[in-house]
Amino acid sequence: MELIIVIVGITAAFQLQIYNEKRISRQIEINSLSNLKMEIEINIEEFESLKEYRSDITQHSIALLEALKNGPITSEFASEHVFKLVRTSTPDLQNQATQAYLESNWSYTNIELKNELLLLQTQLQELQGLSSGYQDRKQSKFMDFLFDEVDFPAFKIISMKAINSITFKNIIWNQTSDEYELNRLYDLASAQLHKVDSLLTVSLE
């Protein structure tokens, strides 16, 4: 009888230990998911904050390109768009919680979330890669080309020769193409961020 009681006691203690380990593991997982959701929401807000900028700079690129296609433009018209196109804003994205989750064992128990996070990472890397090249091209092509004829700190155009050249028109054509591609990648990544956020909401219920 005593042996049976001892065995039952050991079994109960073992089951309690397993229960506690699962409870602790689940709590750690919840903390990881909560941190991940917070990071995703921060990135969503970052994308939202750039919507107006993306729309504005695309419109200025298109307007300047269309005007250059139709012949010489005035310094007043050029000033209205050139100094707007100098600006460059890119998303400041967080990735620590995402990377930590993907490297954890929990990512193997929630395959759908893991796959969507991997897709999101791929999209964000593509966006950041294009953004980096875009900034370099804007400096080396756009600003350097106008450097001797535009006083950027004073927002003043000294000469219109470079601006009305075929070379500058081609620069703006390339830049407008970049804007369209950036907008496409922004839209893809933004939609994916919202999808991941929805999956996290379900996982935390």
Domain boundaries defined on the chain: 2-203
The confidence score (pLDDT) of residue 90 equals: 85
Please name the helix (run of DSSP H) or strand (run of DSSP E) that holds residue 150, with its range, or none: strand 150-151
d(CA 19, CA 191) in angstroms, rounded, equals 38
| Integer Cα distance of 95 and 35 in angstroms | 11
* 10-residue averages of pLDDT along the chain (205 residues): 52 53 65 93 96 96 97 95 92 91 77 94 94 91 94 95 97 96 96 97 87
Quote the pLDDT of residue 23.
58
177 contacts 14 by C-beta, under 8 angstroms = no
Q: How far apart are CA 9 and CA 11, in angstroms?
A: 5
pLDDT in the model for residue 129? 93
CA-to-CA distance for 68 and 59, rounded, in angstroms? 14
**What pTM does this model have?**
0.83
